[in-house]
Amino acid sequence: MAREYEINELAKEESWRMFRIIGELVEGFDELAGVEPAVTIYGSARLKVDDELYTQTENIARCLGRLGFNIITGGGPGVMEAANKGACEAGVKSIGLNIELPEEQALNPYTTKSITFHHFFVRKVMLVKYATAFIIIPGGLGTLDELTEVLTLMQTQKIKPFPVVLFDSRFWGGFLEWLRICTLARGFVSEEDFDLLRLCDTPEEVVDTVQQWYEKHKVVGRKAVVR
């Protein structure tokens, strides 16, 4: 009887968990409806304010904002803060999609619209769903996870092919070289999988790549070729 009771309680808990997930999705859809055109910017939460990359990220977001793009980030510190700050300065929607963590991630003060999620996968859906382009600033494991997920969604045609901009070729060069030498060479990826990746080394290059694609609906800029 005790075992049966535990199974029933577990089933009830899983059912309520499903409803909580649905609730997070509905909240996200309701809150973010109509934010397009928007650009999602990914990158390290550990980036310091006095780092040159912080200033560059802020500049990218500010320039995109002045062109009419709203900015979406994960809502936390580092790259996310810099991007939201640039969006605020441009006067566009500065969206932060925060996440509940064991060590609480504080929402940065530059968001004008924010949602806090409990489930990582729901948050990741929202970071992708409303974006016209994706800008990947240097970061760690979380940034790599977000980059590869976006590429996988495009590769499997689950989302439309949007430009994926890798900022700082020195940082991303080794990763791209590894993809070609270790994965492309063994047939684990295709040459076409590289077609949407663009390397940019200045904020101006990033902004031009996004704007030209948005106007012409084609990917421009410097293809991520590693020789």
CATH assignment of the domain containing 197: 3.40.50.450
**Confidence at residue 194, expressed as pLDDT on a 0 to 100 scale:** 86
Q: Which domain holds residue 195?
A: 2-216
**Confidence at residue 1, expressed as pLDDT on a 0 to 100 scale:** 57
Q: Tell me the mean pLDDT in the region 197-211.
A: 95
222 found inside a domain:
no
| Preceding peptide of 37 cis, ω within 30° | yes
Q: Tell me the mean pLDDT in the region 95-107.
A: 82
Neighbours of 61 (CB within 10 A): 33
Instruction: From 33, 159, 139, select the one nearest 149 (Cα to Cα).
Output: 159
Spatial separation of the C-alpha atoms in residues 162 and 196, rounded to whole Å? 7
Q: Which residue has the higher pLDDT, 3 or 172?
A: 172
223 found inside a domain:
no
Q: Which residue has the higher pLDDT, 163 or 69?
A: 69
List the Cα angle 129/217/146 in 5-degree steps.
35
Neighbours of 185 (CB within 10 A): 10
* pLDDT at position 10 over 60: no
Q: Kindly indicate the confidence band of residue 4, based on its pLDDT and cuts at 50, 70 and 90.
A: low
| Residue recorded with tokens 């509940």 | 100
* pLDDT at position 220 over 50: no
Question: What is the rounded average pLDDT for all residues in the chain?
Answer: 88
55 found inside a domain:
yes
Structure tokens at 212: 């030209």
**Confidence at residue 222, expressed as pLDDT on a 0 to 100 scale:** 46
226 found inside a domain:
no
Say if residues 108 and 130 touch (Cβ distance below 8 Å).
Answer: no
**Confidence at residue 192, expressed as pLDDT on a 0 to 100 scale:** 86
Q: Which helix (H) or strand (E) holds 123?
A: helix 120-129
Q: Kindly indicate the confidence band of residue 11, based on its pLDDT and cuts at 50, 70 and 90.
A: low
169 found inside a domain:
yes
52 found inside a domain:
yes
Q: Kindly indicate the confidence band of residue 201, based on its pLDDT and cuts at 50, 70 and 90.
A: very high
* pLDDT at position 183 over 60: yes
224 found inside a domain:
no
Say if residues 39 and 136 touch (Cβ distance below 8 Å).
Answer: no
Considering its fold, how many domains does the chain have in total? Answer: 1
Do strands 70-73 and 113-117 pair parallel, antiparallel, or not at all (unpaired)? unpaired
Q: Tell me the mean pLDDT in the region 80-108.
A: 91
Q: Kindly indicate the confidence band of residue 99, based on its pLDDT and cuts at 50, 70 and 90.
A: confident
221 found inside a domain:
no
Dihedral (C-alpha) 186, 142, 64, 27: value to the nearest 10 degrees? Answer: 120
* pLDDT at position 5 over 50: no
Q: Tell me the mean pLDDT in the region 62-88.
A: 97
